[in-house]
Structure 1
C-alpha cells in the first residue's frame, strides 16, 4: 500500500538510514536538507510498496556515488540526480514510472526522495543492498540477474556520461568510479533500470519503512528515558533483520582513514571501558569486519554499526574521532543477502578479507 512521506518524518528516516548505512553510505544530513527544501515546493512524497508495482513498470534507481570523506566536504548542487535520471531515460527511450534507492543506508536513502520531490515520481519502498556497500556491482539486483547498465553519471556542472558494459556490472563499477574521481570524487547516478516484476524478485523490500522505524525507535526511547539499544533490538526482532547483538562498549582510541581510488579506507580501534578488551573495525566506506581481542564478532554482509553510547546516534566512518564513547552493534541481514550467490558478490571474500562469513547471531 502506498503512503505519504512528510517533511516531519525526515529526521527519523535519516537517523535510521545512518544506522543501516553501517558507517558508510554518506552522511544523510545534507541529503535530508535537500529533500526538505524540495518538499517545501512539492509537498509530501509518495512511497510505493513494491507489491503495488505493475509488472511492466519502469523503475530507475538513483543515488550518489563517491567516497564519504569527499561527500562530506563537497556539497551537491541538488540537480545532479535528476540530470542522471533524464540522461538514462533518453538512452532507454522511455520515461521512468518510479525511482528507488540502490541502498537504504546513508545519503542514498535520501537521493531518490530528492528525485521524487523534484519530478513527482513515486519512490519504491525497497532497495538493492539492504544496507550500504561501497561498489555498484554489490547489489541484490545484480546477484539475481538484473544488469546495472546502461547507467548515467551526472556532475555538479551539468556533465552527464552514459556507461554501457552490458551484463558486466563489475566493469560498470570500474568505469563509473573513474568518471566519479574525475568529477571531483562525488557524482550522482541512475542505474539498474528494471521492471516492476524484477523489483519484486530482486529487491530487499520495505527498507525505507525500516529506516523510518529504526530512527523513530531511537528517538522515542530517548524521549521516554528508555534504553535505545534494547528498543532497537525489540523493533528489529519483527523484521527481516531479526537479530541484534551488542558487540562492544568502549572508547575510540585510534582512527586511520585515507581516501584512495574513490573510497574511504581505514580502521578504527577502541578500548573497553574497563580497559581489558580491545576492538578493531576495518572499513571501506562501510564497516566490514569487527574484531574483539583479535576474534571476529561480525563480518559483512551483516551490519556493523557504531552508535554513541549515550544517545544511540549513529556515527559514520568520516565522523569517527578519538575519545568518542560508543556502543558497537551487529545486525543480521535478510536471507536473500546470505545465499551463496549473494556472499560471492558482497561477502568477506569480495573485499579480500581473510574471514569466512558466519551469521552474527551464531558467533559465540
Structure 2
C-alpha cells in the first residue's frame, strides 16, 4: 500500500536506513537535512508500493557514489542528483514517472526523496540491494537482467558525464569510479532505468517502509525503557529478512580505516568482557565478522554495528576507540541468496575464498554472548 512521507518521519527513516547501510552507504544525516529543506516547500512525498506501479511506468533510480568518508568533509549542494536524472532523461528521450533508491541503506535512502520533492515525482518503496554495497553492479537489478547503462553523473559544478557500456555493468562501475575520483571523491548518479514490470520482477520490495519501521522500533524501545538492541532483533522476525541475532558485545579497541581507490577500506576490532575479540572487515560496508579468527557472519548478510545502550547505528567513518557497541547479524531476503545473486555480491566477490553460509546456520558454531 502506498503512503505519504512527511518531515516528521525523517528521523526514524534515517535511523533505520543507517542500520540497513551495514556501516556504509554514507551517513544519512546530510541527506536528511536536504530532504527536510525540500519537504518544507512541498509538504509531503508519495511513496509508491511497487505492486501499485503501472507495468509500463518508467522508473529512474538515483544515488550518491563515492567513499562515505568524503561526505563528512564535502557536503553536496543538493541539486546534483536531480541534474543527473534530467541528464539521463535528455539522453534517453524519456521522462521519469517515478524514482527509486538503488540501495535502501545510508544516505542513498534519502537521495531519491530529495529528487522526488524537487521534481514532484513519487518514490517507489523498493531498492536493488536491501542494504548497501560498495559497487554499482552489486544490485538485484543487475543480477536479474537490467542493464545499468546508460548512466548519468553530475557534480556540484554542474559538470555531467554519460557512460554506456551495454550489458557490462562491472565495466561501467570501473569507469564511473574513475570519474568519481576526478569529481573529488563524490558524484551523484542516475541509472538502471526500467519499467514498472521490471521493478516488480527484480527489486527488493518495501525497504523504505522497513527502514522507517526499524527506526521507529528503536526510538519506541528507548522511550519505553526497553532494551533497544533486543527489540531491534525481535522486530526482524516479521519482515522479509526474517532473522537477526546479536553476534557480539564489547568495546572498540582498534580501527584501521583508509580511503583507497574510491572506497573506505579497513577493519575494526572489539574486545568482550570474557576476553574474546571480534573483527569486522569493511569496504564502505561491513563485509565479514570474525570471532577469534572464525567467520561468524558474511556478506551478503547484514553485519550492523550499533551503540550498545541505544542501538543507534554506527557507520564505518564514525567508528572510534572506546565505543561500546553491539554487533548484529541479519539474514538477507531469499532474492539475495540465489546462486546468481551470490555470483555478483557473495563472499568470493570480496576476496573470501569460501562459499556463503547463512548467518542463521553459523549460529550453531557460536552462541550469542
Q: Classify the TM-score, shorter chain.
A: over 0.9
Aligned-partner Cα distance in 1 for 2:355–2:215: 31
Residue 334 (structure 1) shift: 0.1
Alignment of 1:1-364 (within 5 A): 1-274=1-274, 276-363=275-362, 364=364
Do the aligned partners of 2:229 and 2:310 also contact (CA within 8 Å) in 1? no
Gaps of 5+ in 2: 365-369
Aligned-partner Cα distance in 2 for 1:42–1:184: 31
Gaps of 5+ in 1: none
TM-score, scaled relative to structure 1: 0.99
* Superimposed CA distance per residue, residues 4-31 of structure 1 (whole angstroms, 9 cap, x where no aligned partner): 0010000000000000000000000000
Residue 2 (structure 1) shift: 1.7
Residue 227 (structure 1) shift: 1.0
* Superimposed CA distance per residue, residues 108-159 of structure 1 (whole angstroms, 9 cap, x where no aligned partner): 0000000001000000000000000000000000000000000100011101
Aligned-partner Cα distance in 2 for 1:53–1:3: 13
Aligned-partner Cα distance in 2 for 1:91–1:257: 38
Residue 234 (structure 1) shift: 2.2
* Superimposed CA distance per residue, residues 48-93 of structure 1 (whole angstroms, 9 cap, x where no aligned partner): 0000111110000000000001112110000000000000000110
Aligned-partner Cα distance in 1 for 2:54–2:115: 20
Aligned-partner Cα distance in 1 for 2:196–2:278: 43
Residue 356 (structure 1) shift: 2.2
Moved over 4 A (4+): none
Aligned-partner Cα distance in 2 for 1:339–1:329: 23
Give the match's secondary structure for 1:237. Answer: helix
Aligned-partner Cα distance in 2 for 1:227–1:158: 47
Aligned-partner Cα distance in 2 for 1:137–1:348: 15
Residue 207 (structure 1) shift: 0.1
Give the match's secondary structure for 2:118. Answer: helix
Residue 355 (structure 1) shift: 3.3
Aligned-partner Cα distance in 2 for 1:141–1:339: 13
Aligned-partner Cα distance in 2 for 1:331–1:6: 28
Residue 232 (structure 1) shift: 1.1
* Superimposed CA distance per residue, residues 24-52 of structure 1 (whole angstroms, 9 cap, x where no aligned partner): 00000000000000000011000000001
Aligned pair count?
A: 363
Residue 182 (structure 1) shift: 0.2
* Superimposed CA distance per residue, residues 201-237 of structure 1 (whole angstroms, 9 cap, x where no aligned partner): 0000000000000000000000000011221122210
Which residue is 2:367 aligned to?
Answer: none
Give the match's secondary structure for 2:238. Answer: coil
* Superimposed CA distance per residue, residues 258-310 of structure 1 (whole angstroms, 9 cap, x where no aligned partner): 10110000010010023x10011100000000000111110000000000001
